[in-house]
Amino acid sequence: MKLSRLRKISWKLIAVYSAVVVLVFFADPSPDKWKRWNFWAGVALALASISVRFWAAGHLVKNKVLTVTGPYAYVKNPLYIGTFLGMVGFAFITMGPPGDPWYLQHLNWILFALAILAFAFYYVPYKKRREGDRLHELFGEAWDHYDRTVPDYFPRLTRYERAQDRPWSWAATCGNSEQWTPFTVAAGLAAVVWNGWIVEQVSRLMK
């Protein structure tokens, strides 16, 4: 992992990882959870998340060109769509035990709803204002036209009329540090599968 990414750790990132730890801790500890429909629904969404983020990261060239290729020809923020799919998938696989109180059984969806509210009412306006101004300064009318024409989060059905044909690039994917995403997702899945054992070991250490 790049040192520059470590420097970008903020309270928002800490909050996200803290929520993940809480979800893993309170998820159903049953060893056969991987046999249930919700686990595989979550895995399918996690794989979709990886695919979308890889596709987007392989086209994104920050601050050098206005990216209007690949998924960016249909939506301005495909990386966030990929992240959203991953969040829904992780919520599916971290359902609480059936015998727990309702708020622990559904803690996954409670935290997911809070994350969506924070994203919609805090992060989106902040990002729109800050990034929109920066991209306007960099690309001028080209950005203004793209901003007016292409939706932020709900993809259009037709390709952006000024879209280009630059191919997907593994170098761009690595340049955006997206090559680590499958390992992060795999670690999250493993933590959920073996969360009962993990919680038991942590409890022993704390005694």
HSE-up of 193 (CA within 13 Å, CB side)? 12
Q: What is the pLDDT of residue 18?
A: 84
Q: Give the DSSP letter of residue 166.
A: P
Q: Identify the sign of the CA torsion 181, 25, 29, 203.
A: positive
Size (the chain), residues: 207
Q: Are 135 and 127 in contact (CB under 8 A)?
A: no
For 48-101, how does the pLDDT look when each residue is reduced to its tens digit (9 = 90+)?
999 999 999 999 998 889 999 999 999 999 999 999 999 999 999 999 888 888
For 94-138, how does the pLDDT look when each residue is reduced to its tens digit (9 = 90+)?
998 888 888 888 999 999 999 899 888 888 888 888 888 899 999
Domain ranges of the chain: 32-199
Give me the percent of the chain exceeding a pLDDT of 90.
Answer: 58
Q: Is the pLDDT of residue 6 over 80?
A: no
Q: Are 192 and 22 in contact (CB under 8 A)?
A: no
CA-based nearest residue to 92, from 154, 16, 36: 36
